[in-house]
């Protein structure tokens, strides 16, 4: 029979091992074209009213650690990986939880799409290569993004396809408005 002293030691050992476990959460596990990386930060910006009344656009930038936003330059700096989403919502500057998707055959002029024409994947992005340049990045052509929200934190589960490859990943964290 186990005595109280033995139970106490088991409890202390269990508490010690759980307290010493690695609680640092990897914000994102992502892969694109066989390359694995993390997306460590998220940003959001309004892209304005869209095709029909009551429809608004929001740009979402999910970026790796060495990419930052410079408010003075109104641009991203550094180098790394960037996922730029162009989502359409009912409320201006409000990203609601839900499933955002676009099929391969969905017309580009459909106002209820997930990806506007600006949605792209930038692998090995470098600030010297402007994100607005039409020649840069791989355009996202279809896929699904599931967005959930808990307070100020969002979780994005992404399964998207560009013209040449597939991106699968998850980002969990806040979105800084830029």
* Residue 45: HSE in the Cβ half-sphere, 13 Å Cα cutoff: 13
pLDDT at 57: 81
What are the backbone angles phi and psi of residue 96, rounded to the nearest 5°?
A: -95, 150
Q: What is the pTM of this model?
A: 0.75
pLDDT at 142: 84
**In the structure encoding, which two tokens stand for residue 24, read together?**
């640092």
pLDDT at 12: 40
In the chain, which stretches have pLDDT less than 50?
6-24, 26, 28, 109-113
Residue 106 CB-density burial (10 A; 0-12 exposed, 13-18 middle, 19+ buried): middle
């Amino acid at each position: 029979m186990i005595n109280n002293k033995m139970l106490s030691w088991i409890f202390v050992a269990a508490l010690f091992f759980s307290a010493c476990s690695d609680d640092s959460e990897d914000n994102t596990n992502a892969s694109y074209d066989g390359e694995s990386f993390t997306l460590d930060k998220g940003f959001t910006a309004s892209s304005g009213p869209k095709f029909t009344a009551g429809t608004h656009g929001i740009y979402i930038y999910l970026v790796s650690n060495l990419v930052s936003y410079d408010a003075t330059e109104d641009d991203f700096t550094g180098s790394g990986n960037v996922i730029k989403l162009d989502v359409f919502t009912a409320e201006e500057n409000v990203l609601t939880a839900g499933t955002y998707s676009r099929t391969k055959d969905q017309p580009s002029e459909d106002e209820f799409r997930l990806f506007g024409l600006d949605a792209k994947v930038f692998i090995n992005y470098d600030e010297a290569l402007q994100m607005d340049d039409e020649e840069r990045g791989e355009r996202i052509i279809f896929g699904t993004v599931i967005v959930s929200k808990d307070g100020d934190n969002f979780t994005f589960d992404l399964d998207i396809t560009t013209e040449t490859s597939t991106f699968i990943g998850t980002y969990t964290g806040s979105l800084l408005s830029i």
